[in-house]
Each structure stands twice: as C-alpha cells, then as structure tokens.
Amino acid sequence: MRNYGSHAPKMYSYSDLKKITSSFSHKIGQGGFGQVYKGNLPDGHAVAVKVLTETNGDGEEYINEVASISRTSHVNIVGLLGFCYQGNRRALIYEYVSNGSLDKFLNSGPSSTTCTLEWTTLYSIAVGTARGLEYLHRGCNTRIVHFDIKPHNILLDEDFCPKISDFGLSRLCERKESILSMLGARGTAGYIAPEVFSRAFGHVSHKSDVYSYGMLVLEMVGVRNNVNMNQTSEVYFPNWIYEHLELGKDLSLQGIMNEEDEELARKMILVGLWCIQTKPSDRPAIEKAVEMLEGSLHSLQVPPKPVLFSPTRSILESFTSTSTSTSERRFVSGANIASE
C-alpha cells in the first residue's frame, strides 16, 4: 500500500473495526466475499464495513480490491476510506451509501414486488452507472474490469446517484493491453458475458463488463418480470423483447406516464440489446453506450438478435457450446456502434 502514496486508504486494526461498528451490531448486507456492517468513524462519518470471509490463503482477492479501489476517484464509484489486514482478519471500509443497492428498487429485487423509481431516475442511474464504468475502463491509470456488474453492486446515495461497488472480482490490465487472461469463470449467472465461459465467443476484455451492463439495463427496464417462464434462465427474456419489438407488441412496462417515459424506456431497451451482442466486437464500448443513451432515440436502430439466446438450451450449454455461430445480420450503423 505504501506505493500508492496519497491515494492509499487508512489502515485500521481489528479492534478499531469493533469500535467503529459497535461490535458489528448493525448488519446491512452480505456479498460474495463477506458481510457488511454500518458504522461510524471517530469523526462521526458514516461508513460501511465489509468484513471478508476468513481464509488461510494469501488474500489475493482482498489485496486486489484494496489496490484497485485506492486508485479510483469518481462520483459514480464507491469510495474506499480504509482497510484492515490483520492476519486472517480482513475488511474494507467504504463510504456509506444511504439508499442501499439498486436491486431492492427493482421488480426482481428480493424485498420488492414493484419498481418505485420514476423513469427519469432509472435513466439517470443507467447513465451514471455507464459513466462509472467508463471511468474504470478509460479514466484510471490502470484499466479496471469489474466482472460482476449487477443490481446488487450498484449503490444509490440520498439523491439516487449510482455508485459502482464490490471490486472483489476486479482484474487489472495495463492500458496497452485490452485482452485479459481468465483462469476461470467469474461473475454472477445471468450477467456473465459468453466469452467468459468460452473463448469460442471471443476474448475476455472490458467488453465483458459492457455485456453485464446491458443485462443490468434490461432488468432495470423491467421486461424480465413480464416474461412467464417455467424455469429460471437468463436466455428467455432477451428473446421475448425481440419478439415484441419485431411484432410491435406492447412491452407492458410499469410506470409509463407520458411520451418522455416511453422514449427513455425504449432508448434503454435498445442500448441494452446492443450491449448484449454475442460477439464482444459487436458491442459498443461503454463510452459509446453513454453517447447512445444521451443521444436521440431516432438515431438508434434495433440491433441484430444475439443467436446465443435460445429458449431451447440451458444458459451453460449456450455459453460453452463451440458449435454456435454468430449472427451474420448487420445494420449499417453496427460498425460504428461497436467501435472502440
């Protein structure tokens, strides 16, 4: 950590953490690597303390997360204030984000049955999240690929400004190198890009985050919840969207109050569909996705239907199949949209 100079977060002892969290009395969440508690620093600053699951390893994931977050500073990235590394006791101290994670505001959230956010707010969250990813991909001294973009990892402050959290799966690569080497599948089922499972679909890179972002945006729109599925599988609802768009059917989205809401929803759907193209090279870079979201709806075309999504196959079979070919359909704007 000493190599990071002024960017280095403060180191705390485990006894400090007990004081900060009142002996871990207020649990506010749980992630893939540990439990999260609310606490207060001595100056009264509210924080979220992520206590990582104790391991006997060398703490590679932990050190990776500390190093990557300590290099970041952006309004759409959760701030890291400190850390603890005392034997097998490891923790991260983040800024406290008062409205919690995005998933609780979505239809598919564990504690909610209806989306309580207005479309203008959902749109702002989509744009802010994309800007946060753009910073990770292009704005840092070292390019950061998150690998686990999903509603649970998008935190919302008191003004519903989104902040990307949980860099436990981050992998760093030098700015000159955009292709990453993966030792195993990372991320959360339903948001993982196909190339993470099989190189037959392309190389793993920052475009893998773009795929996850596209799935996130489509879930924010709420179309997943309008699909009547007999079994849980992420391959159904993108197919359902395409069928409704091609036939001009109503997507039956909730909360549409006026033409502006309708335009924002359709724009988010189209951008989401571009981002989940099967081939990484067909997806827009995240900065292009921002441009598409903030641009005119009339300039957006319906992208080719990703052949990866087939309701006759399980998601794992689709992701690992080497016989699946990519779509040959192209639109005139496709090359520009997928450009770096």
Per-residue confidence (pLDDT) for residue 255, from 0 to 100: 81
Distance CA 122, CA 125 (A): 5
The binding site for ATP comprises 50
The arrangement of secondary structure in 102-337, i.e. its CATH architecture, is Orthogonal Bundle (1.10)
* Weakly modelled stretches of the chain, pLDDT under 50: 1-5, 56, 109, 111-113, 172, 174, 183-184, 228-235, 309-340
Per-residue confidence (pLDDT) for residue 140, from 0 to 100: 77
User: What single-letter amino acid sits at 310?
Assistant: S
Find, among 158, 164, 159, the residue nearest to 144 by Cα: 164
Alpha-carbon dihedral 110, 112, 116, 121, rounded to 10 degrees: 0
Domain 2-95 and domain 102-337, same fold? Reply is no
Q: Which residues of 116-137 are buried (b: 16+ CB within 10 A; e: fewer)?
A: ebebeebbbbbbbbbbbbbbbb
Which tokens hold the place of 330?
């192209």
Per-residue confidence (pLDDT) for residue 306, from 0 to 100: 67
- Distance of alpha carbon 33 from its chain centroid, rounded? 16
Active site residue 148: yes
pTM: 0.80
The residue from 43, 58, 103, 148 that is catalytic is: 148
Per-residue confidence (pLDDT) for residue 328, from 0 to 100: 27
Per-residue confidence (pLDDT) for residue 323, from 0 to 100: 32
CATH number of the 2-95 domain: 3.30.200.20
What does the domain layout of the chain look like in residue ranges?
2-95, 102-337
Per-residue confidence (pLDDT) for residue 313, from 0 to 100: 38
